[in-house]
Structure 1
Amino acid sequence: MLIAIEGIDGAGKTHISRKLARALSASGRRAVYVDKKDLSFGDGFADGRLALLKEALWPTRGEPGQDLLGTRFYLHLLAAWFAAAGQYFRRQAARDSGALHVMDGSYFRVIAKAHLRSGIAIEELRGFFTDAAEPDLVVLLDLEPRVAWARRSSFRETEIGRWDGFAGDPQDAFCAYQQKVRQILRRLGEQQGWVVVDQGRLHDDADIVGHIVPHVERILARTRSQAAGARPPDGAAIDA
């Protein structure tokens, strides 16, 4: 099972993903946190290619104030990354179908930002990620951008919205840009039935995790029920 924690930059995706994985493990589940930017196949060739792609997407030396390569260039790179992530999770499921993987985000925020930047239709953008792993549960951490800004000491140029034309004071640019990203994510959540955590109401980490866990349990119960319904009754013949 794959659980993706989504939200704007600074919403606490990584923090809550780690806490959720720990809480699920403490309850007896086989749960692990997965950093979407740090995948490893344990194979030198594959991991070497991922390292090159990671540096192209998230450079260690930081980002320039503008992008000369364009939206579709980075969409193709991100599509390759999430296709690799899809392959990674399929391999993990084959090894242990009962494990729970909690990932800090998925490709939905990429879609939201690309739609905002270029105006490419959401459905066309989805076509870039047909090989990505589809989460069994998406949780949207809904947070006011001004609160997200206060949580961190620094943000990348892309997070402030510089590549999308948001100039001026960094805080004002961040809040204006992330509010638009937030609105798109909320629309996607409504359309797809995501679990939405209102962080204006739920502030405490334990309360947020406690709100998510029952949704995970319901999906697990439904999966068990479906698996039981698919099994033939005792003594029934199975067609070859």
Structure 2
Amino acid sequence: MLIVLEGIDGSGKTTVARLVAEALGPDGAVPAGKKEVGAVDPATAARAAALRDLVWSSPEAHGDTYGAAHWILLIASWYAGLARLRPELTDADTVTVMDGWYYRNIAKTLIREPLDPHWVESLFAPVPEPALTVLLDVDPEVARSRRDTFKDTELGRWDGFTGPPHEAFRDYQSVVRRALLRMAAERDWLVLVPHPDDPPEHTAAAVVAAVRTLRRTP
């Protein structure tokens, strides 16, 4: 059973996902990273490393030279491979808690270029839908206050967002946030709106409660 925490950059996905996995540990939950392929043979591991570098390392250094279509095809290839190499993602007896899935990639791609949304979505047909996706709906100003620096991709530099980092982050992430809220309504996600003063443990407890309810549902 795959549980995904989604949200804009800086929304607290990583922290909450870790806390949820820890809380569900006795129930057979495991934390999972979307950049890891698990135990595979050396040849597969080498191919995965090369693709992972193309997706998450090289673009940050060289910019979006090939455009959004090239980037989303690489992302879709990674997730299709992940679906094949990580069988626990669809194991009903194991709760796998993931920090983000491919949804923000779709949102950011459609912000970057006017591609056909149906075509972009179709690229992820081989990838399993999570049993539960939780959107952490955090205001971009709150997210920005939690970190000192952001990458160019988080500031929307590839998507025409210029100006001081503070303003660029706020404006870009506001657009991403709207896209994620649309997805949440279309896909029936659980939307949580953490109060800025709430500790992440409070948000994690709400997710844990939702997971346990889901597991009791026939």
- Report the TM-score, using the length of structure 2 for normalisation: 0.93
The alignment's C-alpha RMSD in Å is 1.8
Output aligned runs, 1:11-160, within 5 Å: 11-25=11-25, 28-59=26-57, 62-64=60-62, 66-89=63-86, 91-92=87-88, 97-160=92-155
Q: Percent of pairs identical after alignment? A: 35
Output aligned runs, 1:222-237, within 5 Å: 222=217, 225=218
Contact 2:142 2:196 in 1 (8 A): no
Deviation, 1:14, is: 1.0
Deviation, 1:122, is: 3.1
Unaligned runs of 5+ residues in structure 2 are: none
Provide the aligned length of Structure 1 versus Structure 2: 218
Q: Secondary structure at the match of 1:98?
A: coil
CA distance in 1, matches of 2:35, 2:136: 19
- Report the TM-score, using the length of structure 1 for normalisation: 0.85
1:216 to 205, 211, 216: 211
Deviation, 1:141, is: 0.7
Which of 1 and 2 has higher RCO (CA within 8 Å, sep 6+)?
Answer: 2
Moved more, 122-131 or 157-166: 122-131
2:165 to 164, 167, 170: 170
Contact 1:63 1:157 in 2 (8 A): no
CA distance in 2, matches of 1:171, 1:209: 28
Deviation, 1:214, is: 2.0
Report the equivalent of 1:237: none
Structure of higher CA gyration radius = 1
Q: Give the residue type in structure 2 aligned to 1:51.
A: A
Deviation, 1:71, is: 0.5
Deviation, 1:80, is: 0.6
Deviation, 1:88, is: 2.8
1:186 correspondence with 2:181: yes
Q: Give the residue type in structure 2 aligned to 1:177.
A: Y
